Amino acid sequence: MRTQQLGLSNLEVPVIAVGCMRIKELGKPEAEHFVQTALEGGANFFDHADVYGDGACEQIFADAVHMSPTVREKLILQSKCGIRRDVAFDFSKSHILQAVDGSLKRLRTDYLDVLLLHRPDALVEPEEVAEAFDILHSSGKVRNFGVSNQNPMQIQLLQKFVKQPIVANQLQLSITNCNMISQGLHVNMQDERAVNRDGGILDFCRLKDITIQPWSPFQYGFFEGVFLDNPKFPELNDAVNAVAKAHGVSNTTVAIAWLLRHPAKMQPVTGTMNAGRIRDCIKAADVQLSKEEWYQIYLGAGNILP
């Protein structure tokens, strides 16, 4: 699979990340087949979080991949921490260190390639985050650090204290949820799409060499459902299907290729647990949409141009 550099890290990663939030839904044979299918396609970057399945997803993945030192060196593992079921969010030094130890144990590995802070914590003390990151980095438990769902000011506040570069920011983004793109097109307009809801995070990440990892690339709303083959989105599906036919690929491939076409060099995080669909996602790495096709799909989703 085509690869790219992850932020300012030394990691060369596949342009597609495999999300493991739903791997708990699979039986052991199905989980093994799914992971192997991803690896055969060159998708060896796996995204986890300690909160997925209350930790079970990390353990199920380790079992499915038959984790060993030989297997581990072929994988790029990312996990997230900071969401607590009993509190809400916790970016304290003690919680971060405890959470990472838990993930390492469940994943049966000595280190994470990437650790993300999972959503913002309103009570974050960035000095504590910096201390935790220093301990994790110096001990070799975590090699790179990032965030999820954070705006430019939140990232800059962290970076005032954190020595390590923020290499990734995981953000919700899809054809139907693309406000971060639309607001850039509607600058100086008085319509709803001109409202800047995220502080210009798209351009900020490009300026700071932070890789955006779009999550829920097939979802509309907030986990309301997928837009592909959905009668609620006839114009969008007509546009996607026309492009898919022109390239000889599936609509799943086109939905991911639409994100990859953006010059920000994003790394979409898939959520499917279907082996056939992960193959289709992987194919997107080799599909280059034209400007005309990209805008055709953008407009098909109900977006408008100023």
**25-57 residue pLDDT tens:** 999 999 999 999 999 999 999 999 999 999 999
**268-295 residue pLDDT tens:** 999 999 999 999 999 999 999 999 999 9
Q: What is the per-residue pLDDT for 140?
A: 98
Kindly indicate the confidence band of residue 5, based on its pLDDT and cuts at 50, 70 and 90.
very high
Q: What is the per-residue pLDDT for 28?
A: 97
Residue with token string 């280059």: 288
Q: Residue 301: inside a domain, yes or no?
A: no
Query: Out of 52, 111, 295, 298, which one is annotated catalytic?
Result: 52
Q: Is 269 helix (H, G, I), strand (E, B) or coil?
A: strand
Label the pairing between strands 166-172 and 211-215. Answer: parallel
Q: Which residue has the higher pLDDT, 130 or 224?
A: 130
Q: What is the per-residue pLDDT for 146?
A: 98
Q: What is the per-residue pLDDT for 224?
A: 87
**131-159 residue pLDDT tens:** 999 999 999 999 999 999 999 999 999 99
Q: Residue 57: inside a domain, yes or no?
A: yes
Q: Residue 241: inside a domain, yes or no?
A: no
Q: Residue 58: inside a domain, yes or no?
A: yes
Q: What is the per-residue pLDDT for 55?
A: 97
Q: Residue 61: inside a domain, yes or no?
A: yes
Instruction: Kindly state the percentage of the chain with pLDDT values over 90.
Output: 98
Contact 161, 202 (CB under 8 A): no
Q: How far apart are alpha carbons 108 and 97 in whole angstroms?
A: 16
Average pLDDT, the chain: 97
Q: List the CATH number of the domain containing 193.
A: 3.20.20.100
Q: How many residues would you count in the chain? A: 306
Contact 106, 92 (CB under 8 A): no
The tokens describing 246, both together, are 């022109």
Radius of gyration of the chain (CA): 19
Kindly indicate the confidence band of residue 223, based on its pLDDT and cuts at 50, 70 and 90.
confident
Q: Residue 104: inside a domain, yes or no?
A: yes
Q: Residue 246: inside a domain, yes or no?
A: no
Q: What is the per-residue pLDDT for 222?
A: 84
Residue with token string 């969008």: 236
52 belongs to the catalytic site: yes
Model confidence at 87: pLDDT above 90: no
Q: What is the per-residue pLDDT for 52?
A: 97
Does this model's pTM top 0.85? My answer is yes
Closest CA to 167 of 3, 274, 51, 10: 10
Kindly indicate the confidence band of residue 237, based on its pLDDT and cuts at 50, 70 and 90.
very high
Q: What is the per-residue pLDDT for 40?
A: 98
Q: Residue 292: inside a domain, yes or no?
A: no
What domain range includes position 71? Answer: 3-232+264-287
The tokens describing 172, both together, are 């919700």
Number of structural domains the chain divides into: 1
